[in-house]
Amino acid sequence: MPLIAPHELAVADVLFPPLLLVVALAYLGAQLTAQGLVKGGLHRFVALPVLFELGLTAIYAVVLGTWVIPA
């Protein structure tokens, strides 16, 4: 049976695009990954932390948007 993805998310009769949820979850995942790197002491190998976080957010957004929450 194929999975049917919603075309929009409804919260209190307000419709949100699924990309909004994908980006929010991607940002949360990037934050958790960055905190894990700081706790593990691996943050010293990152030259530009802001670009690293932006890149992680983009990677997570692509993965989530492609396989977890397809738009």
Of 4, 5, 30, nearest to 18 by C-alpha is 5
Under 8 Å between Cβ of 11 and 5: no
Residue 7 lies in a domain: no
Number of domains in the chain: 1
Residue 4 lies in a domain: no
Residue 6 lies in a domain: no
Q: Could you tell me the pTM of the whole model?
A: 0.81
**Structural domain range at position 59:** 13-68
Residue 17 lies in a domain: yes
pLDDT in tens, 1-13: 566 655 787 888 8
Stated length of the chain: 71
pLDDT in tens, 48-68: 999 999 999 999 999 999 998
Mean pLDDT of 23-37: 96
Residue 22 lies in a domain: yes
**DSSP assignment of 26-62:** HHHHHHHHHHHHHHHTGGGG-S-HHHHHHHHHHHHHH
